[in-house]
Amino acid sequence: MPKVKTHSRAKKTFKITATGKISYRKPTRGHLLTKKSKSRKRALRIEGQVNHANLDFVKRMLRLK
């Protein structure tokens, strides 16, 4: 039986918190920041958490389940 590989992009994108939740960095924060409002950029600073509807899918990509 061959080894099961972890999804390479998933291990770079998602991070498991101490409480077991999975967080990620919100997109559109990397460039073209001059046209975005201050409040929008401030909201993008906060890490997002994976919704429970997608949790099984992300865990499967990370090979946690």
Q: Which residues pair with 49 in a beta bridge?
A: 23
CA distance 41 to 28: 9
pLDDT digits 0-9 by tens, 17-43:
999 999 999 999 999 999 999 999 999
Helix (H, G, I), strand (E, B) or coil at 26: coil
pLDDT bin (cut points 50, 70, 90) of residue 6 is: confident
**Per-residue model confidence (pLDDT) at position 40:** 96
Residue 1 lies in a domain: no
Residue 26 lies in a domain: yes
35: tokens are 């046209």
Neighbouring CB atoms inside 10 A of 16's CB total 13
Residue 3 lies in a domain: no
Residue 2 lies in a domain: no
In CATH, what number is assigned to the domain containing residue 53?
A: 4.10.410
Q: Whole-prediction pTM value? A: 0.76
Residue 15 lies in a domain: yes
Residues 41 and 33: beta-carbon distance below 8 Å: yes
pLDDT digits 0-9 by tens, 40-56:
999 999 999 999 999 99
Domain count, the chain: 1
* Structural domain for 57, as ranges: 8-62
